[in-house]
Structure 1
Amino acid sequence: LCSLSDCDCSFKGRCKLREHLRSHTQEKVVACPTCGGMFANNTKFFDHIRRQTALEQQRFQCSHCSKRFATERLLRDHMRNHVNHYKCPLCDMTCPLPSSLRNHIRFRHSEERPFKCDYCDYSCKNLIDLRKHLDTHSKEPAYRCEFEACSFTARSLCSIKLHYRKVHEGDSEPRYKCHVCDKCFTRGNNLTVHLRKKHQFKWPSGHPRFRYKEHEDGYMRLQLVRYESVELTEQLL
């Protein structure tokens, strides 16, 4: 039985329990020898390896977004992202998994911030945000600009992303295209602003943003169809 609060998961063996606990701690113990990526367990690592296979070997295609996968299991896992089964009792948000609904309730509707910084008064709702914050206390820059001939460094991911937007945004081809007027943008949130102001689009009920999917011509356009089946269970509360 998982010992952490607000989690009632149980497992038959200690190995599965240890793997589950890593989902709470975000601990990653398996490294990819090719790219250096870290993963919580062997299953996620092997899934990562299969995703690197050549496109012609990815025989299983999603009927909704046209993405391809090397195994049928990876395709099934992906298809769950298109189906939302669990509705939040506090708003109109729907989620594909019980764990996603729990996370939504914790982040959107709870004021509890159990993760606290040892160096200042900062507190947050998960370990990932705390680790990002701790980078701001480091004297050494944690992030470096990946563009050639640019020596910019930053202590936080937010700062490096802001640098990319301000300095290098024009260096990339626009991949986001409006399905109404064909105007193109380099970033999804710019297309979101365009859709809301120019064409008066509204976010789907219960969702804080639009979703975009890649089409055969390589452009990302607004996802107009959402598959949804609402099944609210009291045990999630």
Structure 2
Amino acid sequence: MKGNTGEKTYSCEVCGSTFSMNYLLQRHMRRHTGEKPYSCVICGMAFTEKYALNRHVRTHTGEKPYSCEVCDLAFSDKSALKRHVRTHTGEKPYSCEKCGFAVSHSSTLKIHMRTHTGEKPYSCEVCGLAFSQISIMKNHMQTHTGEKPFHCEVCGLAFLRKASLQSHVLIHTGEKPYSCDECGLAVSHSFSLKIHMRTHTGEKPYSCEVCGSTFSNSSNMRKHLRRIHTGEKPFSCEVCGFAFSSKYDATKHMRTHTGEKPYSCQVCGSAFSNSSGVKRHLRTHTGDKPYTCDFCGLAFSNNISKKKHMQTHTTERL
């Protein structure tokens, strides 16, 4: 319907939105009618907008006409380039109204908000478990199928997710390209550095819906929920059936069956099944003794030795 006054003279009869030109109104109406007049000649997928079709076609052609001026990384659409540029500028224009947490993308903010609302719109078709993100739900679905499509070329270990494989490969290369400006700690991934930085800032953006305990990362919050409140143990050993509340514990346990020792000492080459084992071992080379007795100040390389020593003081006081 065409109005009589004002700059936006075309209005939608369904929702009342107004537009300055008739073609904009017609384009908007497709949201209500569901009309998709633009179809891909390769796969037949239909779209309401021509620009959306053009962007989709690039998934077939591989064309990436938008390049980053900083690092030359190329993208298939302009919005993706704009989001990428923020990784260089550090711009975070979207902030949470609840806790002030700032992010670079609106979609990331939407996902973050679910940590406050508890919304979990994606459910597993097999077990009904609900998730806040569709990507997490898809990863979970693979726990039912047993599919592990990503394989390490060095040791052959298989993974559910590509990101997990990429993380694992760094065990072999030892590469740690990200370092903390505060203490110099070097880590393998940018997200690990981001989480580590919270040990300096004290930021804990994730809170438990049951008791209000706060956490620096979402995985620790989920572990807390399972261990303390729900008792849920969704990760089971395929060999002996023993169940665990965290995937990390289940993976570590599996190595007792497989004998896998993916962590090696850079000094002598001794191999270990978990990262904490290699850290303890390294102290035999460095002489580092970070654990001290509360009574006499004697120093130890590991907490177990310290606790055993502490018992000698307890016995003396009886």
The TM-score bracket by the shorter chain reads 0.3 to 0.5
Give the TM-score taking structure 2 as reference length. 0.37
Greater Rg over alpha carbons, structure: 2
Bigger share in helix: 2
Give the TM-score taking structure 1 as reference length. 0.47
Select the structure with the greater relative contact order (CA < 8 A; seq sep ≥ 6).
1
